[in-house]
Structure 1
Amino acid sequence: MKFPSRKAFTAGVALTAVLAVTSCAAGSTDDGEDATGRGDTLTVATVLEVESFDPAQAKGAHHRQFYQPVYDTLIRQEPDLRLVPMLATDWEYNDDATELTLTIRDDVEFTDGTALDAEAVKLNLERLKDGNGPSASLFSLVSGVSAPDETTVVISLDAPDPSLLDNLAVQTSFIASPTAIEAGNIDTQPVGSGPYVMDVAASVPGSQYTFAANEDYWDPSIQHYDEVILRVIPDRTATLNGLLTGQLNAGLITPKTRDEAVAGGLDEHLNEVNFSGITLLDRDGTVLEPLGDKDVRQAINYAIDRSEILAQIEQGLGTATSQIFPEGSPAFIEENEDLYPYDPEKAKELLAGAGYADGFDMEIPAVNVDPAFQAAISQNLGDVGINVVWNERPASEGVSVATSGDFVAAVKPNGLGNTWWMAQQMLAPDASNNPFGTSDPRIDAALETIQFGSAEESAQAQRDLSAVVTEDAWFVPFYRSALVFVTDEETEVDVQTYQAVPSIYSYRPAG
């Protein structure tokens, strides 16, 4: 079996409301499994609604769990990020990593009887690239897709994309039936080749989605239940109540209710998927002159009592840090975890040396920011002379506060992932979360090496990139926050690295 050629590629490839009460309880049968070896019903609470089941409009993070029951991907990502075959049995790059050739399984049909072949895969990949959906940007380097024969797909690139394989294991390659796409209702009646089939009659948009096992599924080893139900419950207190009363098997709760969940016999699974803090957007001081001074940005870092804020806001669930890259990443630098210890006197010295002994005002937008989080930031920065002016913004502006260029800083969680993906989101001159287009020749050089260099060169470049971003204080990370995902005693699960919720394949009956 051929897997990714590393010849001229990079290490970046490896980076990558109230509960409605029902008459029947969630969970498995008395012995946990039925005659097929599967559990009975898995019922999972989701914090948000799916907007469309059309793969061309697919989103990541919490949304993936809606697509995974119905659609297979070309590559599957294990909880520890290892890439394993799914619809593609193997894959290989050419020497300069501008062409990826995938071999497609020849024994799979969509659940409507349509053959799954290379042309079907090509159609889906092209629809995502050309559909202007939420994930289309992940194919920004894709120049074309071809299907030279029934089991071969070739993806051509304008330049190497160190995240392409990881992307093909998430939302860019959910493969839908061409027949269902042509019918025009794929957004509400999804048809794929996945382990489950959506029971449209038993599903209520905005409330519950029911999926029955695909009895002809080609890989029963990842098909652990006869039925999967996803219930849309934005209120995490309602989720906890549903878990404690046996109406749910799994769901996200808040750190503040963790003790109640554990006392009630639920199993917790902690997973660091974001870093929280302040993103300094105007790093050149275009609008707010002080932010153009590295000493000022470092002073803001020294002013933050990370451990205390972590304890107050997240009940200590997470890891205080001074860097944006996660542990386990080639870009992670152990000694930079505490590069900026809480030192308000040091912060005052740096501000004075930069000419701001009397401090300055800094406006920060607040979109769904915990009031206690706001208060802690105001207190810490106020103690060194920086007056934070909070600009309350509507929830609909959750993304634009960091991408519009209207604000010099933003307070929001930022997703963890492979170095190349994070850089494209936050560091590159054209990154969406770098609206002022800040650039640095050292960062540009590191990104070029990550994209075009050898595995060894890429690993070193990732460390170089991390060092520059941390020491030049482009961000003020507080901590990597740990989401609290809980399951009942009948359910086991492996959380997915960098993903807010587990993959559907990762649940199984306990025992």
Structure 2
Amino acid sequence: MQTFRTPSTTADADRPATLPAGLGRRSFLGLALGAGAVLTLAACGSDATPATAGGTGGTLKWGWALPTSWDPVTSSAGWDVHVLSLVYAGLTKENEKGDPVPALAESWKYTADGTSVTFTLRKGTTFSDGTPLDATAVKKSIERGRDHPKSLIAAQLANIKTVTAPDAGTLTLSLAKPDFQLPALFAGKTGMVVNPKAFEAGADAAALATKPAGAGPFTLTSYVQNSRAVLRRNPTYWDAARIKTENFEVYPLPEPSTVVAALQSGQYNVAQIPGSQVEAAKAAGLQVQVIPSLVVATLDVNIKKAPFTDPDVALALKYAIDRQELLKATAFGHGEVSYQPFPKGYVGHNDELDDLYPYNPQKARELLAKAGHADGVELTITTSVAQGVPELVQAQLKKVGITAKIEVIPASQATQIIYIQHSRALFTDQFAGRDSAVQAFQVLFGEQGLMNPGRTVDPELTAALDVVRRTPLESPEYPKLLQKATSIAVRSMPNVFLYTVPRILARSPKVSEIPAFTVVQRFEGVTAS
């Protein structure tokens, strides 16, 4: 049986002390990579005596993004995971390298065939309102994610046949087929445990969209839609000793032209900034951290829409793009050219793909001629970004005979138009990565994948991913099998990957260094004075 146990001390919580030999070397990341109504909430647990030490005062003001929903089941953006992690906890979390490590579960065991996994929960944990967080509560939360008619995480949980809670501290999942990805999957939105009191009979489950009910490091105390979320440290959080900031505020993504001034004025003391503002932030005396992430800029191609119904046109697009020029001009060199969904150092990154589709206008023109477009072809670039990438892509396509017009749609409508209605041929986007590598493949290339607008699948890729699921994460074969799946996906699917997008955070000198978590940004140990 595959076993994972928690380290013996809280200080070592991110260091997998008893991982099977070699997993550290085969880690997920081998390198550190309009205003609505005001909603006021009870600060559940905020007046309780802290169960552990921590909380040194101060307020962290984060210019980042507000979630599409505070309910992890109906949240529609991968980006939401960063803020939802402030108010929810999962059975697992991921350390700086991307390895799944204990969180609400202190250990887990798989059966040898991978068709059942048992989690042992920490004793004495509660939700932020004081309700016991036991195996029955986790069971109900998982079943809701799998079975809720509007669940956007259901596809990731479909393989779970039954969830049983034989006692308060034990949870067993029986699977339809082997799947060793669950510890990684449960580190993200899919594994966030929602308090059943918020959705069981008599509860207004729809309220979860604005009133989260979790067991995370903070509790939401007030929320102004599209404007601000105010949170307070949760003293009953299982790892509360490492949460030093007493208050936390989250704001929408700042305007690039004003973010440095807003940081100087104190409107924020930590904020996401674009590459274009790095030098200005440094000149203003701000601290700047460039944290590797799983985000990659992409062009999403719908091969059921002309002119991409011809595979040669879709292939020509990959050679027509000068990724280095895009990286330099739009990201000011922060990031790396990429031809695949995973960054260098990630276990799924395949080095053989590093220059698979080099900029080659002549080859692009030849492929277009082969498709019957020797005299050129017209298309539309749909985007939710007013300037930058779309204009440069438009200019690059013109050089190979593709005349493109630009259509700008509201970001709030992009998911509906592009990924639900499937009504556009080409869209500029960014893929936020996922905690589980197989989940990332599902989102990008799966039959129901949100970022697969054509909803086409490759049987060879499906078979390769099935093998990956059946392989324990600590197996020496796992990296090779995952990289094989990456190669099949990149060669067979139409997605055009452009460059990696690091998380660039500027902060006041009064805020301590932000931990470099590659997958989900967390704030253990951060202080603000």
Compute the TM-score of the two structures, normalised by the length of structure 1. 0.83
C-alpha distance in 1 between matches for 2:348 and 2:221: 44
Do structure 1's residue 194 and structure 2's residue 216 form an aligned pair? Answer: yes
Query: Cα–Cα, structure 1 residues 506 and 174, in superposed 2: closer, same or farther, change >3 Å?
Result: farther
The aligned counterpart of 1:242 is 262
| 5+ long unaligned stretches in structure 2 | 6-17, 36-51
**Cα contact 1:301–1:473 (8 A) shared by 2:** no
C-alpha distance in 1 between matches for 2:311 and 2:77: 36
C-alpha distance in 1 between matches for 2:452 and 2:197: 41
**Cα contact 2:27–2:347 (8 A) shared by 1:** no
SS for the counterpart of 2:502 is strand
C-alpha distance in 1 between matches for 2:115 and 2:461: 23
Give the one of 350, 366, 370 matched to 1:349: 366
Q: How far 1:390 sits from its partner (Å)?
A: 3.2
The aligned counterpart of 1:323 is 340
The aligned counterpart of 2:400 is 384
Give the one of 213, 222, 225 matched to 2:245: 225
**Cα contact 2:444–2:450 (8 A) shared by 1:** yes
Query: Cα–Cα, structure 1 residues 508 and 60, in superposed 2: closer, same or farther, change >3 Å?
Result: farther
SS for the counterpart of 2:271 is strand
Give the one of 163, 177, 195 matched to 1:145: 163
C-alpha distance in 2 between matches for 1:51 and 1:435: 20
**Cα contact 1:198–1:209 (8 A) shared by 2:** yes
Paired residues for 1:100-115 under 5 Å: 100-115=117-132
Q: How far 1:436 sits from its partner (Å)?
A: 3.2
Q: How far 1:261 sits from its partner (Å)?
A: 0.8
Query: Cα–Cα, structure 1 residues 219 and 498, in superposed 2: closer, same or farther, change >3 Å?
Result: closer
Q: How far 1:403 sits from its partner (Å)?
A: 4.7
The aligned counterpart of 1:503 is 522
Query: Cα–Cα, structure 1 residues 178 and 306, in superposed 2: closer, same or farther, change >3 Å?
Result: closer
Give the one of 488, 505, 509 matched to 1:489: 509
Q: Which amino acid aligns with 2:409?
A: R
Q: Deviations over 1:279-313 (max 9, x none)?
A: 2321xxx543665334x433322222211121111
Query: Cα–Cα, structure 1 residues 164 and 475, in superposed 2: closer, same or farther, change >3 Å?
Result: same
Query: Cα–Cα, structure 1 residues 80 and 507, in superposed 2: closer, same or farther, change >3 Å?
Result: farther
Q: How far 1:334 sits from its partner (Å)?
A: 2.3
Query: Cα–Cα, structure 1 residues 6 and 448, in superposed 2: closer, same or farther, change >3 Å?
Result: farther
Q: How far 1:146 sits from its partner (Å)?
A: 1.4
Query: Cα–Cα, structure 1 residues 37 and 217, in superposed 2: closer, same or farther, change >3 Å?
Result: closer
Query: Cα–Cα, structure 1 residues 409 and 506, in superposed 2: closer, same or farther, change >3 Å?
Result: farther
Q: How far 1:162 sits from its partner (Å)?
A: 4.7
C-alpha distance in 2 between matches for 1:471 and 1:198: 44
Give the one of 448, 458, 478 matched to 2:466: 448
SS for the counterpart of 2:486 is helix
Q: How far 1:153 sits from its partner (Å)?
A: 0.9
Q: How far 1:103 sits from its partner (Å)?
A: 0.8
Between the two proteins, the alignment pairs up a number of residues equal to: 482
Do structure 1's residue 160 and structure 2's residue 182 form an aligned pair? Answer: no
Q: How far 1:105 sits from its partner (Å)?
A: 1.6
Query: Cα–Cα, structure 1 residues 428 and 114, in superposed 2: closer, same or farther, change >3 Å?
Result: closer
Query: Cα–Cα, structure 1 residues 437 and 445, in superposed 2: closer, same or farther, change >3 Å?
Result: same
**Cα contact 1:58–1:172 (8 A) shared by 2:** no
Compute the TM-score of the two structures, normalised by the length of structure 2. 0.80
The aligned counterpart of 1:401 is 418
Give the one of 298, 304, 311 matched to 1:293: 311
Do structure 1's residue 184 and structure 2's residue 203 form an aligned pair? Answer: yes
| 5+ long unaligned stretches in structure 1 | 19-34
**Cα contact 1:46–1:231 (8 A) shared by 2:** yes
Give the one of 76, 79, 84 matched to 1:67: 84
Between 1:48-57 and 1:141-150, the stretch displaced more is 48-57
Percent of residue pairs identical: 26
Q: Deviations over 1:237-277 (max 9, x none)?
A: 44432311234221112222221111112222223432223
Query: Cα–Cα, structure 1 residues 61 and 509, in superposed 2: closer, same or farther, change >3 Å?
Result: farther
The aligned counterpart of 2:46 is none
**Cα contact 1:367–1:397 (8 A) shared by 2:** no
C-alpha distance in 2 between matches for 1:322 and 1:75: 30
Query: What RMSD in Å do the two structures reach over aligned CA positions?
Result: 3.4
**Cα contact 2:141–2:193 (8 A) shared by 1:** yes
SS for the counterpart of 1:115 is coil
Q: Which amino acid aligns with 1:476?
A: V
Query: Cα–Cα, structure 1 residues 153 and 257, in superposed 2: closer, same or farther, change >3 Å?
Result: same
Between 1:445-454 and 1:116-125, the stretch displaced more is 445-454
Q: How far 1:319 sits from its partner (Å)?
A: 0.8
C-alpha distance in 2 between matches for 1:109 and 1:254: 39
Query: Cα–Cα, structure 1 residues 439 and 109, in superposed 2: closer, same or farther, change >3 Å?
Result: closer
Do structure 1's residue 372 and structure 2's residue 382 form an aligned pair? Answer: no
The aligned counterpart of 2:438 is 420
Q: Which amino acid aligns with 1:493?
A: I
Between 1:270-279 and 1:97-106, the stretch displaced more is 270-279
Give the one of 475, 481, 487 matched to 2:495: 475
Do structure 1's residue 136 and structure 2's residue 136 form an aligned pair? Answer: no
Do structure 1's residue 83 and structure 2's residue 84 form an aligned pair? Answer: no
C-alpha distance in 2 between matches for 1:57 and 1:37: 32
Do structure 1's residue 306 and structure 2's residue 333 form an aligned pair? Answer: no
Query: Cα–Cα, structure 1 residues 388 and 220, in superposed 2: closer, same or farther, change >3 Å?
Result: same
Q: Which amino acid aligns with 2:159?
A: L
The aligned counterpart of 1:24 is none
**Cα contact 2:234–2:240 (8 A) shared by 1:** no
C-alpha distance in 1 between matches for 2:455 and 2:216: 41
Q: How far 1:198 sits from its partner (Å)?
A: 3.6
Do structure 1's residue 170 and structure 2's residue 188 form an aligned pair? Answer: yes
The aligned counterpart of 1:431 is 449
**Cα contact 1:272–1:318 (8 A) shared by 2:** no
The aligned counterpart of 1:281 is 302
The aligned counterpart of 2:378 is 361
**Cα contact 1:275–1:414 (8 A) shared by 2:** yes
C-alpha distance in 1 between matches for 2:229 and 2:299: 37
SS for the counterpart of 1:108 is coil
